[in-house]
Chains A and B, each alone.
Chain A
Amino acid sequence: MGETRVVVLGGAGDMGSRVARELARSGEVQLVVADLRAEKAEALAAELGPGVTACPVDATDRDSLLRALRDAAVAVNCIGPFYRYAEGILHAAIAAGVSYVDICDDDDATLRLLALDGLARRRGITALIGIGWTPGVSNLLARRAWERLDAVDSIDITWVGSAADSEGEAVIKHVIHAVAREVPIYRDHRWTRVAALSGIREVEFPPPIGRVPAYFCGHPEPITLPRFLDGVGDVTVRGYLLPAEIQRLTRALIDLDLASTERKIDGLAGLLQPFLPVLAHLGGKPAPPVSGVRVDARGTRAGRAAAVSYCAIDTMERLTGIPPAVAALMLARGDLAGKGVLAPEGCLPTEPFFAELARRQIEVEEVP
């Protein structure tokens, strides 16, 4: 076990526990599982072996966060929904002088985190935001395309999530939040807003996902990619949920004005979470318990129009939990030099990172 103390905030949760397991497996860090659910955190720490400790933390209490981050070198924030908690947690990490990694997947929260860049730089810390599945793997696939082509004009990202591959309330809150309002895209070198659920496009994924009619949704990639990848003119993110019938349910909830406030979304998530196994069977056929992300980039190479597309399919737990653990290990080792608030495409070495993912059997394939 190494000397560097890494605290996983929300470490007993669905994604946080995966991050904690990956970090414990590395044997490189002194791991702390921090969670509001103290008993669950203790149980996980005991399971992960000697040297792993637990501590209680309340994401709404700054003093609690500062206590949890004491003597830490890196904090990995897995407490969702990020539109509610991320800003306060990053503030606390900056105040504590602790470098930071998160899996923030909300566009509005991402803007607030980027606004803390100056504070983070002056404090001399690195805050790597949105290094999960999407954002995260998606951003780095976009960067890979940007490095491979001479110029990239447009990047279109599509994610597919499955009711059979989800467990907690936070992911339900995130999804509703992402589709129940106007959301940002980047078009003609400008940020603009579009209605979520619009912009439907048929996107092909390898089996077991197949072809899906994905739609615009609120996600961080249109916010960050234009900031860090020079020359990109268009960035969009579309999403889709399996099974297909969930789209009908989502639209009905929005049309009935049941998703227009945070409080309503909290109530909905509480109602829907126990029904996930039922929702996974809507339409009579079970949804596959995997998630996927596809990145399509168009631009030029050697003076001619060129395009490249990548895809990754795996369980949400692996796709979301493994990348932040890898990033935290890189930070802990001192392999990342940049200071301030950075998106993955702004600070992670693309191919070494994908090599680390491949070692952990996360496969990325180039697709037609």
Chain B
Amino acid sequence: MSAADQGRGAAIRAVLEAFAARVNGHRAVQKMLKEWTRNIHVAASDLDVTYTLVVVDGQVREIAAGPAGERHVALTAPAEVVAGIFEGRLNPFHEYAAGRLRFSGSPKDEMRLDAVVQLVWH
């Protein structure tokens, strides 16, 4: 991986860390995430980089490097789309409908994640 790509991969991690901090402290979001325990694999397809958001009872406990644990939810998209989604600038459902995001997981988890990424930043 080039140094530039490594930098972009680290930037994705920073985006996820900022997202996690907001989720963990957001009262309204925590209402939506009660008892929600999931490993969310987030892959930047153009960098071949994956991180796992380890969510336990609504709290993001860890951001692991690589695909960790059982895969409950997976999002795969170019790095700029991943960053846009977790920074609240892009709507996951629209990106999915436009073919820029691949998602695997239950429809309920998709709707939950969708609402969370929008709510934490607005």
Q: Which A residues fall within an 8 A CB radius of B?
A: 164, 167, 206-208, 276-277, 280-281, 284-290, 313-315, 318, 361
Interface residues on B, range: 10 to 19
In the bound complex, what is the Cα–Cα distance between A361 and B93 (angstroms)? Answer: 30
Chain A CB count within 10 A is highest, among B28, B107, B110, B115, for: B115
B10 to chain A, nearest CB (A): 29
Name 6 interchain pairs, CB-CB below 8 A, sorted by A. A207-B28, A208-B32, A276-B107, A284-B91, A288-B115, A315-B34
Secondary structure dominating the interface of B = helix
| Cβ-neighbour of A289 out of B91, B94, B115 (below 8 A) | B115
Contacts of B65 in A (CB 8 A): none
Contacts of B115 in A (CB 8 A): 164, 208, 286-289
In the bound complex, what is the Cα–Cα distance between A314 and B30 (angstroms)? Answer: 10
B98 to chain A, nearest CB (A): 13
Contacts of B28 in A (CB 8 A): 206-208, 288
In the bound complex, what is the Cα–Cα distance between A314 and B34 (angstroms)? Answer: 8
Q: Which B residues fall within an 8 A CB radius of A?
A: 27-29, 31-32, 34-35, 91, 93-94, 107-108, 110-112, 114-115, 118-119
In the bound complex, what is the Cα–Cα distance between A296 and B44 (angstroms)? Answer: 49
Q: Is the CB of B34 within 8 A of A318?
A: yes
B75 to chain A, nearest CB (A): 15
A249 to chain B, nearest CB (A): 17
B32 to chain A, nearest CB (A): 5
Task: State whether A314 and B107 are in contact (beta carbons under 8 Å apart), knowing that A208-B119, A285-B118 are contacts in the complex.
Answer: no
Q: Is the CB of A289 within 8 A of B118?
A: no
Contacts of A290 in B (CB 8 A): 31-32
| Cβ-neighbour of B111 out of A206, A280, A314 (below 8 A) | A280
B12 to chain A, nearest CB (A): 22
Q: Is the CB of B34 within 8 A of A288?
A: no
Contacts of A318 in B (CB 8 A): 34-35
In the bound complex, what is the Cα–Cα distance between A206 and B91 (angstroms)? Answer: 24
Q: Is the CB of B93 within 8 A of A286?
A: yes
Q: Is the CB of B31 within 8 A of A314?
A: yes
Q: Is the CB of A289 within 8 A of B111?
A: yes
Q: Is the CB of A289 within 8 A of B34?
A: no
A155 to chain B, nearest CB (A): 24
Contacts of B107 in A (CB 8 A): 276-277
In the bound complex, what is the Cα–Cα distance between A279 and B108 (angstroms)? Answer: 12
Contacts of B119 in A (CB 8 A): 208, 288
A39 to chain B, nearest CB (A): 19
Q: Is the CB of B27 within 8 A of A289?
A: no
Contacts of B111 in A (CB 8 A): 164, 277, 280, 286-287, 289
Contacts of B35 in A (CB 8 A): 318
In the bound complex, what is the Cα–Cα distance between A280 and B118 (angstroms)? Answer: 13
